Structure 1
Amino acid sequence: MKLLIFFYLVIANISNNGKASLESFSPNDNVLFTDTTKSSDKSCHRPCKFNVKPRQCYFSFDVGPVIDDERPALAINGLTPGPSLHVCLHDIIIVQVRNRIPDQDLSIHWNGLEQRGTPYMDGVPMITQCSIAYGSTYKYSFRASKPGTFFYHADSVSQQSDGVYGSLIVDQPQPLEPHSSLYDYDRSKEHTLIFGARFPELISGSLDTFGDVKPNGVLINGKDSAKLFVIPSYSYRLRFINAIAVECPLVVGISEHLVTVVATDGKPVQPIITEAVKLYPGERMDVVVRADRHRSGYWLQVKGEGVCAQLSARAMFIYSGFNYTSLIDYQPNSKFNIEDSSTVKGQDLLSYKQVPPFKNVRSVYLGIDKNMIEFKETDNDFRYVSDVVPKKPFFPAALSLQNGVVQINGKNFLFPDVPYLLKPREVRSELVCEVGNEKMHRDPQCLQLLTANVNEVLELILVNEGAGSNDTYTFHMHGYAMQVLATWQSPAGLPLSRTEFEKLDKEGLIDRNLQNPPVKNSVMVPNKGFTIVRINPEYGGSWMFECRSCALSSLPVAILISVPQPIPKIVVDSLPTCASYRPADVLLN
């Protein structure tokens, strides 16, 4: 009889778990303010289970200068990259950030996390928050609402390039992983590779060489090399993160091994087997590799492109029982010549599930190109823009120091003087220009604003017109995921104008993948080509859509997508206010 009761309880438990859904475990909103940690073990890196309340995961970041490998760098708690954050789905992440960088402001962006309900935690200065002034602190608090591979970094491209970045992994119960049958082990702590760049000098401390300094090395987890240990005949999930802020695509492959791509930018995809993968700045890719070769040691190789051309890095892929010291003297194939057709890119993938169709779609054209701004030397204006000076066209001094600047619809982005999300009515109207009507604004910079309503589907048509450059640009979307419908490049290498694009579209020559497009938050726009994405703004907020990789060699290249979201006064009043002191380099930028 006891045995019968035992089996009944087991079957009942399995049945209940089988009916489980993510929504059924979603905590109440007051979890943001209530400690739900019951265990004496305060670690948030743990096996994620069903029917267990989420935890509050506390982290403390001290960001400041250090000497790393005999060169100056910026570090978090003395580390670059910073601490790896590992949490479970629905955990509350609380990070207290203290800025110890002299004479510089700071903010931290949580790349790939939606910030649904907490748009003021997105980490964009003067858009979602006031910058963290030197010597002050800011407490971020938000829910890990989606599982996947993410990372965090300084919103400043120069500070990120100097070392302010780190991995952020959100796990979920193993039965909910769509591709868990493809691998035996998911050791995210040991098998997450975050790729960075080494620069010959401290970028954030240099004004004279702004935009001219290029990386001189590629790093794996902050080092020139790394080690991955595996057991023969078992399969492993590896997580790759391109945390390089400049335009530095990376090709990654393991000698004599194939990999199966299972996710991109934290979203599952239909599995595809390949020799190597290509990651553009900000992209993440999860792959599965099976240790089915001869028991030995192999090289995981990383090859840079773009501004990282001729740069490479490597990691040891070591089978257990193999004496890897014999690999030290063995140089891998330095050529690493994998055909581009054999390399899988995130935009080539197909989403794991079919996406719902959208009936009403609003199309927005964004023409991207490097332009020369024609103005007289006397037009250079070195003053601070304020209400007390005459209203005349403003030409930032940086325009005279560049061989053209990258722009969207002929304009560069201008950050407001107060956080737009928190105090939109205090933003001066003459600084704002509506996306699509930028020509009405007389200055080369303006706050390019695209206003939309909740659930108003936007189709962003990103055309790299290519008349002024031969560059490829990578764009990152804050807050929302993007469906990547199409990517195309002119086979003849000819510039592409808006008129020519609209002709192609009208003639039905553009094939949009409307059934299973990959869902991403970082996309590449090829030189003399286009990428088409769709966004469904299901919740409110003020979200940047930006070319971060353009920032070191251009004025800001971005638009602000604003979906009205009233922020309660009690929240606005509880957030740190903007400091009155602003360093000169911040003001001039």
Structure 2
Amino acid sequence: MKLLILSLCIIANLSYNGKASLESFMPTKNNMILADTTKGSDKSCSRPCKFNVKPRRCTYDFEITPLIEENGRPTLTVNTLTPGPPIQVCLHDIVIVKVKNKVPNQDVSVHWHGVEQKGTPFMDGVPMITQCPIAYGSIYEYAFIASSPGTYFYHADSVAHQSDGVYGSFVVGQPQPSEPHSSLYDYDRSEDHTLIVGAKFDDLLTGRLEDVSRIRPDNLVVNGEETDTKIFVMQGYGYRLRFINAIALECPLLISVERHPMTIVASDASPVQPVIADAVRLYPGERMDVVVRTDQESGGYWVRVSGEGVCDGLSAHAMLLYSGFNYTNMLEQGPALETESSYETVVFGQQLRSLREASHVANKKSVYLSIDKHSSKFKDADIDFSYRSDAMAKKPFFPAVLSSEEKVLQINGKNFLYPNTPYLLKPRDVPPSIMCDIGKEDEHKEPQCLQILKLQTNEVIELVLANEGFNTNDSYTFHMHGKKMEVIATWQNPSSTPISKADIDKLLKDDSITRNDKNPPIKDTVFVPNKGITIVRYTPIFGGSWLLECRSCSTLLPVAILISVPISIPKLVIDALPSCGNYRPADTLLN
């Protein structure tokens, strides 16, 4: 409780131009709750995590800047690096990241993917929902407690900014005896054995007006390299490897280690019942921890990463190198080509089972979300590009993309509309006319609205994510901000024909869809198969405004809903956070 109270005091003074400094909350003789008792250490937050040691205050300075790489390819970087600097901390450390935007004519923000922002929902990094965007030349301080161990990563909230290079790994460690699967491995060297996979593009996506989700990347990279990432091991031991799919587009990855089966021990930072696999499939934003035993002949072995979806045909490699092996010939020969048919077992996260049993839920609310593409219902004459001030009478607004013959992906027939002010911080300033309740979207006449699902703390709901497939043959990946979900079921129509709500209701009523109510995997990122459903159980245990979004679906019109859980944020905190000034998101300006 003391940590929580102190963290709130710290968060209340986050603004770079705030009324008080973080330094004013440093430990004193009378306040030693955050004292660092690890005498003689190098003061780095990347360290072995131990019991009975007070948490550290881990401060990072990030500058997001454009850069031209040696090969002439433009990119965005964090401290001139892509991926950005890895963050390695221990459980209960306070993480403070000062982000400075040095990208001209661009607003940015940073999302901490998978991190449960308990008590700090304004640190989630979603512009116009939890914060104001970081304007060019400005600084925003993120500060939160690393409250759960596991593998995470950070990335720019913008799909284009993330694709251009703004992403990096984020690992929260804990004392080894607390790790439920520590008996399965000898070494967890997360600084050296975390593999974060990104995609490279021929040109910057930042600033492009077209739908970047359709732009195909040129190649994949592991820790920023196509083939040069090396994992050094000793023969006869078990090693924990951490895989991260940091690609913002709909690009699943197939990952394997040559001649080395993998034991899966965690998915999306949550421990699972161990499963052995020849390869694992990671959807965009997913993470998976595996154990590899170095029980083969001493030598060098390829870690293969193969792209699917928009990345089909692309690949990247790393090297697993036994101690003393000369890998020169290995580089000259290159990896042999393998396909999914080469593997006997391929496992993805939603097939796994959690270590802990789920509590029985007597009363739960079911919410159906229809995911499909729809044709425009509007004519060119409906589109009004004229600028209007707030003092002028409002007219209906229809985005130009809806005037084309192309179908647009939507949830319950609507696209998400970002508000004119951060909803979490100043909900009363958001015009009620732009809001629509989930399930009642038909009452809103315009094609976009702020789609809100209002819940109470500890209210249990089951979200039926239904990729109906009447107008699309694509699968989609959704990410839940702020709080993990239990994946109850994943089902795809075996007849490969579209499905409707009536079809799903009947299947559920007849128990024709296999459910895992006992040990559902706990995840923050899930995929929804085409002409199929994914059912997730969600129980908000703390307040906030949380997006459930399909970031990779489209960058022209957002595909998301907002889950709103009551929370009272002190005025002191709101006043200390940077204000938006005259900023308005593009769709709000035109509206």
Normalised TM-score (structure 1): 0.93
2:575 is matched with which residue: 573, 576, 579? 573
4, 15, 26: which one pairs with 1:34? Answer: 26
Number of the residue aligned with 2:107: 105
Q: Which runs of 5+ in 2 are unaligned?
A: 11-24, 28-33
Q: Is the 8 A contact 1:276 1:338 kept in 2?
A: no
Taking a change above 3 Å as real, the CA distance of residues 94 and 401 of structure 1, as seen in their structure-2 partners, is farther
Aligned counterpart for 2:314 among listed residues 311, 316, 323: 311
Q: Which string of whole-angstrom CA distances, capped at 9 and with x for unpartnered residues, describes residues 40-92 of structure 1?
A: 63210111111111010000000110112321111011001100000000000
Q: Which residues of structure 1 form unaligned runs of 5+?
A: 1-22
Say yes or no: does 1:165 pair with 2:157: no
Deviation at 1:93, TM superposition (A): 0.2
In structure 1, how many angstroms separate the alpha carbons of the residues matched to 2:88 and 2:588?
A: 33
2:527 matched residue in structure 1: 524
Q: 1:209 to 1:88 in 2, by over 3 A?
A: closer
Deviation (angstroms), 1:370:
1.2
Alpha carbons of structure 1 residues 427 and 386: separation in structure 2 relative to 1, 3 Å: farther
Instruction: Tell me the distance in 2 between the aligned counterparts of 1:273 and 1:218.
Output: 26
Looking at structure 2, the residues matched to 299 and 402 of structure 1 have their Cα atoms a distance apart, in angstroms, of: 46
- Residue identity matched to 1:154: A
The 5-angstrom pairing of residues 211-250 of structure 1 reads 211-225=213-227, 226-250=229-253
Distance 2:585 2:394 in 1: 24
For 1:538, the aligned partner's letter is I
State yes or no: 1:538 paired with 2:538.
no
Cα 1:384–1:48 change in 2 (3 A) is: farther
Report the equivalent of 1:551.
554
2:450 maps to: 447
Query: Secondary structure at 2:396's aligned position in 1?
Result: coil
Deviation at 1:405, TM superposition (A): 1.2
Q: CA deviation at 1:550?
A: 1.0
Q: Give the match's secondary structure for 1:203.
A: coil
Q: Residue 574 of structure 2: SS of its match in structure 1?
A: helix
* Equivalent pair of 1:104/1:583 in contact (CA under 8 Å): no
Query: 1:210-359 residue pairs with structure 2 within 5 A?
Result: 210-225=212-227, 226-338=229-341, 342-359=345-362
- Say which SS state the counterpart of residue 281 (structure 2) adopts: strand
Secondary structure, in 3 states, of the residue corresponding to 1:130?
coil
Corresponding residue number in structure 2 for 1:4: none
Name the stretch that deviates more: 445-454 or 366-375: 366-375
SS in 2 for 1:158: helix
Offset of residue 255 of structure 1: 1.2
Specify which of 180, 183, 194 is matched with residue 182 of structure 2.
180
CA shift for structure 1 position 130: 0.6
How much has 1:385 moved relative to structure 2?
A: 6.7
Kindly state the Cα deviation for residue 339 of structure 1 after the two structures are TM-superposed. 6.0
Q: CA deviation at 1:172?
A: 0.3
CA distance in 2, matches of 1:581, 1:364: 34
The CA distance in 1 between the partners of 2:488 and 2:469, in whole Å, is 21
Kindly report which structure 2 residues correspond to 1:7-86, keeping only aligned pairs within 5 A, or say none.
Answer: 27=3, 29-30=5-6, 32=10, 33-35=25-27, 36-38=34-36, 39=39, 41-68=42-69, 69-86=71-88
Shift of 1:386: 5.5
- SS in structure 2 of the partner of residue 53 of structure 1: coil
Aligned residue in 1 for 2:120: 118
Once the two structures are superposed, what CA deviation does each residue of 1:86-130 show, in whole Å capped at 9, x if it has no partner? 000000000101111111111100011110000011000000011
**What is the CA-CA distance between 1:503 and the residue it aligns to?**
1.1
Which stretch has the larger CA shift, 350-359 or 454-463?
Answer: 350-359
Secondary structure of the structure 2 residue equivalent to 1:527 = coil
Letter in 2 for 1:393: P
Distance 1:556 1:327 in 2: 45
Q: Counterpart of 2:381?
A: 378
User: Residues 84 and 167 of structure 1 are in contact (CA less than 8 Å); yes or no, is this contact kept in structure 2?
Assistant: yes
8 Å CA contact 1:27, 1:53 repeated in 2 = no
CA contact (8 A) 1:462 1:531 kept: yes
Q: 1:352: how far off?
A: 0.9
> Shift in Å at residue 338 of structure 1?
3.5
Q: Give the distance between the partners of 1:386 and 1:431, measured in 2 at CA.
A: 16
Aligned pair count reads: 564
SS in 1 for 2:541: coil
- Letter in structure 1 aligned against 2:176: Q
RMSD, aligned α-carbons:
1.8
The letter of the residue matching 1:570 is L
- 1:337, distance to aligned residue in structure 2 (A): 3.3
Q: Which amino acid letter does the alignment assign opposite residue 244 of structure 1?
A: I
Q: Deviation of residue 581 (structure 1)?
A: 4.7
Q: Which amino acid aligns with 1:30?
A: L
Please identify, of 395-404 and 84-93, the stretch whose mean Cα deviation from structure 2 is larger.
395-404
Kept in 1, the 8 Å contact 2:378–2:402? The answer is no
Number of the residue aligned with 1:194 = 196
Task: Judge conservation of contact 2:421–2:584 (CA < 8 Å) in 1.
Answer: no
Separation in 1 of the partners of 2:373 and 2:438?
18
**Does the aligned pair in 2 maintain the 1:48–1:173 contact within 8 Å?**
yes
- Indicate how the Cα distance of structure 1 residues 50 and 579 shifts in structure 2: closer, same or farther if over 3 A, else same: same
> Where does residue 16 of structure 1 map in the other structure?
none
Deviation at 1:349, TM superposition (A): 0.1
Contact 1:107-1:123 within 8 A present in 2 as well = yes
Query: How many angstroms apart in 2 are the aligned matches of 1:78 and 1:586?
Result: 33
Q: CA deviation at 1:210?
A: 4.3
Local SS of the residue matching 1:551 = coil
- SS for the counterpart of 2:44 is coil
Cα distance in 2 for residues equivalent to 1:209 and 1:28: 42
Q: Distance in 2 between matches of 1:61 and 1:284?
A: 23
Q: Secondary structure at the match of 1:347?
A: helix
Q: What is the alpha-carbon distance in structure 1 between the residues aligned to residue 489 and residue 587 of structure 2? A: 39
Q: Aligned to 1:149, which of 148, 151, 155?
A: 151
